[in-house]
A and B are shown apart, each in its own frame.
Chain A
């Protein structure tokens, strides 16, 4: 078996060097970029991808790479489909002199699929603000990094916010909360936590699934009209979000009682409904909308040279900024790993160490130009999430305004759930826990 694997590795290396001949100069770090610029999720996929790629371009143009190591990247279109996502992962994982740095699957379905493959390929999977909630537990999910927040954190924060609005979590008793969710692992992920909290605070939880891609929601909103929930949580993505808000307008459900997760709170979600979106709330993940120092740098070093990926006007949108922050955290992880392994192109497993020992404090944030658009993130083996705070933003008809928070998710509730769920995964997969603190 050894010989066979060896031969295979040789074949991969040969294939990688052959196909990447142009990239194969030694001092380069390869970033795979899974995107969806087509299909029903494109309105949200495009700004994220632009932000991600623009930041990589900026690091090259402004700093000459990460400590002198140039960044190269290649996009691959997944169309939000799991099978194509896996194909892209396989296509890109071996490129560049040291293989892929880390993957952002940008879809919970693809995350689930590549989570299986990452340990074998020794490439970290970063799911900033999505993915499996239980992958916070680094002792089971060594290769997964849900940096900055999971859906359990998001759901927890929303409930905390409602508690605060009503004058205490105990006041939620008897209230009715509807979860309108994308009927996929993404949308189902928060249910466990909302049910756990429902037991504690005695509110009633209505689960209203919407099938992919979410353009047909008449039945869902009819149920909302009948049941009259006090609040609606929206767990949608792509065209589903704007459809939901339009349906809320049509059924007359007050928008200011609606709360979206951070994937349901960007400009493409609210603008199609026009003035009807006014008053709609959503969570704010790490960065909100707007422009700071980093955007000035971007405009100067990238856009003014005609190298920008998208339109100049879109720089600073919610999802654009999220792409920016995701790229920044990945670049910082590489920088962190360079302190241990040297300033050279790094392998996926070396970057993994950087991700597990990532520490982006207020000073670093200021230095990178992200002041006001980022909260500090500090990871460890036992905590791959690194930060679990989020604020609430409200759409005023023209732009998103920060209106409440930040709140921090309650690990007293989430912690045991993560442990139990990770335990179950480990037993299904017949994995043994890695001891934290060993590497």
Chain B
């Protein structure tokens, strides 16, 4: 009843091809942005910012990056934390060695360096597919772990291999309180989301999707696989590089190579599988699921006042979390984004379904 598009006529191609063609969606999005930018910074607690919202925003960015590659271009990668690490260490070295650079420039340069490395490790994708490619990207993960743990230059010869950074400063704005960090990250994420959304609707995204669906057919209709696959690796690593730099500088403040280990790569992959492959929105859902659920599960016994040992709570968390992942994959193999789409379809017909 509320959510119908009757009477919304599109008289131009421009209107027809908008990102959000339905008026209600546009209002919803505006309201959401208004809440996220204007209400949350004042209403949320420090705990919410530092433990949930900030990791959520950064990992969403990384998940979008991975989704561009895996969900849109069909090239599996289980080494994307390595590109986050490249971004983080590139940013660290840029700030250390060229301190006068603006942080936004540092972010972009870190992203570009990660993109270059990503394209390098994407070269095998031209020859191998599927699980074989996954194993090749795993090499990126182990190589980067090794590189940043062993080559001391990257960590500025720190004793323990751990590097630390000063708070980010942007045009005289020192981003050090949790709410400021949140606003800054939200701004970055919005820009990158819009970019991703447009990218996948344009000719590049279509080339990726054609390659994903059938690479031989894509080649026949004139898409160069080298170009499609390598741009996907490049853009995807760019996103992850930026996310890695933000993870290091804004979230952690000091980190060791362990912060970008295989677990992070796998978590990113789970995020997009559960959230929905080939969906930008799904990256948000997946990141929320993977980050918030374990923390919530861990605290439920305490919140309910159930006297339960710490170890038991931790074990329960693992069990329920695992069961929920399986449940969602059985109920909707196409991810939470698909559930969302089904919900929207239903809402359009409500209250008079056929």
Contact = CB atoms under 8 A, between A and B. Distances in A.
Contacts of A8: 42, 45-46, 177-179
Contact of A184 (B42, B164, B258, B311): B258
Contacts of A184: 256, 258
Interface in A180-217: 183-186, 188-189, 191-192, 209, 212
Nearest to B41: A4
B293 interface: no
A132 B295 CA distance: 28
A183 B149 contact: yes
A129 to B, nearest CB: 15
B47 interface: yes
Interface stretch (B28-36, B117-125, B155-163, B232-240): B155-163
A38 interface: yes
B166 interface: yes
B177 A421 contact: no
B346 interface: no
Contact of B45 (A11, A75, A109, A115): A11
A49 B165 CA distance: 32
B253 A133 contact: no
A428 B176 CA distance: 16
Interface string B273-310: 00000000000000000000001001100110000011
A65 B38 CA distance: 45
Contacts of B55: 83
B159 A191 contact: yes
Interface residues of B, number: 43
B50 interface: yes
Interface residues of chain B: helix, strand, loop or mixed (majority) = helix
A38 B318 CA distance: 11
Most buried by A among B46, B161, B303: B46
B177 A109 contact: no
A82 B257 CA distance: 12
Interface stretch (A87-95, A158-166, A337-345, A374-382): A87-95
Nearest to B303: A19
15 contacts: A37-B309, A38-B311, A46-B311, A75-B310, A90-B46, A90-B50, A94-B46, A116-B252, A186-B160, A188-B160, A189-B159, A192-B159, A212-B258, A421-B159, A428-B96
Interface of B: 41-47, 50-51, 55, 96, 149, 159-166, 176-179, 252-256, 258-259, 261, 295, 298-299, 302-303, 309-311, 313-315
Nearest first, the 9 closest Cβ-Cβ pairs linking A and B are: A37-B311, A116-B253, A185-B160, A77-B314, A75-B310, A192-B159, A87-B51, A188-B160, A38-B314
Given A91-B47, A189-B159, A428-B166, 14 more contacts: A19-B303, A35-B310, A37-B309, A38-B315, A77-B311, A82-B259, A94-B46, A109-B256, A113-B252, A116-B254, A132-B160, A184-B258, A185-B162, A189-B160
Interface of A: 1, 4-5, 7-8, 11-12, 15, 19, 35, 37-38, 42, 46, 49, 74-77, 79, 82-83, 86-87, 90-91, 94, 108-109, 112-113, 115-117, 120, 132-134, 183-186, 188-189, 191-192, 209, 212, 421, 425, 428-430
